[in-house]
Structure 1
Amino acid sequence: MKRYLCLAAFAACFAGPAQAVEIQVGYAYGSIFDETMRQIVEGFSAAHPDIEITFRASYENYEDATNTVLREAVADTLPDVSFQGLNRQAVLVERGIARPLDPFIAQETDFDADGYHRAMLKLSTFDGGIYGLPFSVSTPIGYYNMDMLEAAGVEGRPETWDEVAEACRKIVANGQDAAFLHWNITGNWLLQAALWSQGVPTIRDGRLNMENPQGVAALESIRTVVRDCRMKNVSGGDALKSFAAGELAMMFTTTAYVATVDGTRVGDWAFVTGPYPGIGGAPKALPAGGNAAMLTSTSQDPEVLEAAWQFIKYATSGEGAAVVARTTGYIPPNKVANEVLLADFYARNPNKETAVKQLPLLAEWFAYPGDNGLAATRTIEDYLEEIVVGGADDMPGLRDEMVADVNDLLN
């Protein structure tokens, strides 16, 4: 039996008049985006009372989002709109599941003026066609409890992983929990960040590109946090709770959680974000995280397709993007949101501006090619777990084994 849900905080679905056109929508990370979607649908329904939005049960993460949609394509139960990780769009395009948005865009009178600039659209362009509109963009950043750092004698925010290790040793010596690196965040994102920070793409010629000194250095940066920071093996959610409770000095993860920390912080300690640490210096590039709204409807009804397009357009418009910025830590990819609606927002919210300042570093967040792409993601995570849980110390050896296994899958 199909399971359709409104948002958890909703008393009922947002419904229009009796003859309203209904569309089904799916998105990931309910804990982050539930309030965002509630506000977006509230504004959308006021402008489009003839369209009813019903949300599917939220996807756990971007891998789950893609797996779910691939299964639904086989069962012919696809939602009309699906929000997919930027690194997972290609597989839905290759399988013919995502429908091109170009015919709808061609009907818009002034699409560029609405904030949909070329750089934004490029994130969802494949073989010259536009298959999604970016909804939210993120970069990895550092989260700091400045009170704990100062109490341990740490001056300022660390800018490299060597400086993180030095800070951790002081914090641990002060009897406190030092740091958490969100190593298993979706899509091997922070491993890719460690590679990109050295200017190295994760995939080259269809293969995992780690048979180089930078590949070993990327793994060693993870081992540094595990070893020198005595990092606890907890989930990202538990680490986030510890940080918000003032029990963890540093956390390295997506900017998406800034609003969560602001809303759940316990105590009067100084919460500050900072640029993501680099390996031996400032990062040369960082992978673009986030997701895009894609048209996955199988309907042949022009009214349903037009309703789905109107929702995609509104969610990614200046109004929708501004809601994303206010309710999360994500960066709105829409120019109107950033330049007009949020003109003074970042001056009042400097912790959310950290990711914005890293926008010039944005690079591709790779999905592994071929039918085994999701399996490759899991295989890499298994190897990283050997560092976090098993205490693996031979990084060149672990790198060689991981590269061999992943490239066997990709072949």
Structure 2
Amino acid sequence: MSLPVAVCRRILSGMIILSGITAVHADEKITLDVLYTTPGTFNSLHKELARRFTEAHPDIEVKFRNPVKGYEEAAQEILRGQITNSMPDVAFNGINQIGLFVERGIGTPLDAYIHREGGLDKLGYYPTLAKLGTWKGKQYGLPFAVSTPVLYINTDMVKAAGGDPDRLPNTWPELVKLGKAMESRAPSPVTGLYYQWEQTGNWLFQTLITSKGGHMLQPGSCKIGFNSDAGKWALQTLELFGKSGMPNLALGQARQSFVSGTVGIMADSTSYVAAAEKQIGGTFGFKTMPFPLADAKGQLPAGGNVAMVLSKDAKRQAAAWEYVKFVTGPQGQTAMASLTGYMPGNKIAVEHAELLGNFYTSHPNHTTSLKQVPVLGEWASFPGENSLKIIEVIKGHTEALVTARDTAANTLPKLVQDVNALMPAECR
């Protein structure tokens, strides 16, 4: 079970706040306009972080916009704000959207601020995770809440079907078979295996491709890379889920089904781990396990969001930097990881017992994500003006597979054609 907000407050208040150069003088109070997503997951966390930050920086106030549902909705709001000169000062954006913004002149490089503080290592960021916030060699974002795909396991259902929760099959056909065994042996209707295919930004579709050693975009190129054996395999795997009778559930509906004990195995983001533990409350055995890699060179796309400074005003940028540094620093990441299930991007928080060290010792389900850091890779973003539209096109084709309305053989050429039609001319 995750730490309650009150405990996190005591932890944070007992820590030494790492202070950088004061952003503004007390008589020049600045109110930061901040945008974040997924209120069900992040509301209490962001409010707590803002409270602690303003206690340490009374010259800076944090005012949140109404949070939006997901990363695509946030991106649309930011792009509209560029036109109307009403962008937020700080935004928590999907990792896959950095290029979308930077190519349109949105976002402040943070390199000078980082250098002034002594560098990324001194600030405590994992190099692999900090790299997720870069675009063409510059640091535009810092990791706030990083997720990896994992398997959520109802160990009671697995045991009842004759399986071993500690030694699950590592291929999707075998996992589907185990899921069907759970369905056949359950006293009431259940879903043995559920794959959260509709995750934002086609994340779990990309995960299948990269876990097989493939790429959404060709390495070093803006051309599509999923027209490959790995892409074909990923589509065939989605088709397998559809043909197995897997229901088509909304993301929240699938999660509620899992914590209610009617889904045996669920492939999902680690972002839900803390909430799942709290909602299950020991009513059945629950553990997380790594996402299966289908190839020795397979990788997993890092999901989640980075904190970016979007303000163009120098004083507001400096204030925004102080906030970004705090929420992605040891104190902010301690609260973030313990209250959600996302992986922290700051190793100081992980390595110190009084921060997250003791927490991870007593919460093993949260450590699965950390174990997957060595195989983390890019969550690809499509180039050009139609980046967000391409996401919706891919979602439509993948839904046809998981609902058994189409086949992988039919889908691949149509998917390639439809995505290419929306790509910039130089990327076709």
TM-score by structure 2 length?
0.87
Q: Is the contact between residue 195 and residue 268 of structure 2 (CA under 8 Å) also seen in structure 1?
A: yes
- Letter of the structure 1 residue corresponding to residue 179 of structure 2: C
2:246 maps to 231
1:119–1:388: structure 2 CA closer, same or farther, 3 Å change rule? closer
- Letter of the structure 2 residue corresponding to residue 165 of structure 1: V
2:3 maps to none
Matched ranges for 1:61-100 at <5 A: 61-100=70-109
Distance 1:81 1:401 in 2: 38
Q: Is the contact between residue 72 and residue 78 of structure 1 (CA under 8 Å) also seen in structure 2?
A: yes
Is the partner of 2:357 in helix, strand or coil? Answer: coil
- Give a deviation string over 1:159-208, Cα, whole Å, max 9, x none: 22022111112012124221211101011111111111111111113222
Is the partner of 1:344 in helix, strand or coil? Answer: helix
- Among 168, 173, 192, the alignment partner of 1:162 is 173
CA shift, 1:18, in A, is 9.1
2:57 maps to 48
- Calculate percent identity across the aligned residue pairs: 36
1:210 maps to 226
CA shift, 1:333, in A, is 1.0
1:94–1:227: structure 2 CA closer, same or farther, 3 Å change rule? same
Moved more, 132-141 or 110-119: 110-119
1:180 maps to 194
Is the partner of 1:196 in helix, strand or coil? Answer: helix
Segments of structure 2 that go 5 or more residues without pairing to the other structure are: 1-25
CA shift, 1:117, in A, is 4.7
- Letter of the structure 2 residue corresponding to residue 169 of structure 1: K
**Would you say 1:395 and 2:389 are equivalent positions?**
no
Q: Is the contact between residue 33 and residue 88 of structure 2 (CA under 8 Å) also seen in structure 1?
A: yes
Q: Is the contact between residue 277 and residue 283 of structure 1 (CA under 8 Å) also seen in structure 2?
A: no
Is the partner of 2:193 in helix, strand or coil? Answer: strand
- Among 249, 259, 262, the alignment partner of 2:264 is 249
Matched ranges for 1:330-409 at <5 A: 330-340=342-352, 341-392=355-406, 394-409=407-422
1:187–1:206: structure 2 CA closer, same or farther, 3 Å change rule? same
- Letter of the structure 2 residue corresponding to residue 249 of structure 1: G
1:138–1:238: structure 2 CA closer, same or farther, 3 Å change rule? same
Q: Is the contact between residue 293 and residue 299 of structure 2 (CA under 8 Å) also seen in structure 1?
A: no
CA shift, 1:282, in A, is 6.8
- Among 271, 277, 288, the alignment partner of 1:273 is 288
**Would you say 1:148 and 2:157 are equivalent positions?**
yes
CA shift, 1:325, in A, is 0.9
2:22 maps to none
Q: Is the contact between residue 243 and residue 404 of structure 2 (CA under 8 Å) also seen in structure 1?
A: no
Is the partner of 1:199 in helix, strand or coil? Answer: coil
- Give a deviation string over 1:277-313, Cα, whole Å, max 9, x none: 233x677211011111111114x3x432222111011
- Letter of the structure 2 residue corresponding to residue 55 of structure 1: F
Q: Is the contact between residue 27 and residue 58 of structure 1 (CA under 8 Å) also seen in structure 2?
A: yes
Segments of structure 1 that go 5 or more residues without pairing to the other structure are: 1-16
2:332 maps to 320
**Would you say 1:122 and 2:131 are equivalent positions?**
yes
CA shift, 1:258, in A, is 0.2
1:31 maps to 40
CA shift, 1:51, in A, is 1.3
- Letter of the structure 2 residue corresponding to residue 75 of structure 1: T
Distance 1:93 1:241 in 2: 37
In the alignment of these two chains, the number of paired residues is: 390
- Give a deviation string over 1:10-34, Cα, whole Å, max 9, x none: xxxxxxx996321110011111111
- Give a deviation string over 1:89-144, Cα, whole Å, max 9, x none: 11111111111112322332465222035433322222332111111211100001
2:316 maps to 304
CA RMSD of aligned residues (A): 1.8
Q: Is the contact between residue 24 and residue 55 of structure 1 (CA under 8 Å) also seen in structure 2?
A: yes
Moved more, 399-408 or 265-274: 265-274
TM-score by structure 1 length?
0.90
- Give a deviation string over 1:140-159, Cα, whole Å, max 9, x none: 00001111111122223332
CA shift, 1:390, in A, is 4.6
Distance 1:272 1:128 in 2: 38
